[in-house]
Amino acid sequence: MSTVDFTGAVWRKSSRSGGASNTNCVEVASAGPVVGVRDSKNPTAATLAFPAVRWAFFLRRLGS
């Protein structure tokens, strides 16, 4: 199994997370052809990794 290195990745919270005081959300970051998703309360825990193409499909479906 290969791993993706998210060292130095810029993690972003959803604009709907309720501001800096709300820690109950996820963060996403791009690492080349992969998008990582992690728990903002525990950023050192496991990161889910999705192909960027699949993540884009998810976002399109979410918006429709």
Cα separation, 35 vs 54, in Å, equals 9
Answer whether 0.95 is exceeded by the pTM. no
Q: In terms of pLDDT, which residue wins out, 25 or 2?
A: 25
pLDDT in tens, 7-56: 899 999 877 666 666 667 889 999 989 999 998 888 899 999 999 999 99
Contact 58, 48 (CB under 8 A): no
Token code pair at residue 46? 């496991």
What is the per-residue pLDDT for 20? Answer: 60
Q: Which of 1, 61, 9, 2 is nearest to 35 (CA)?
A: 9
What is the per-residue pLDDT for 29? Answer: 96
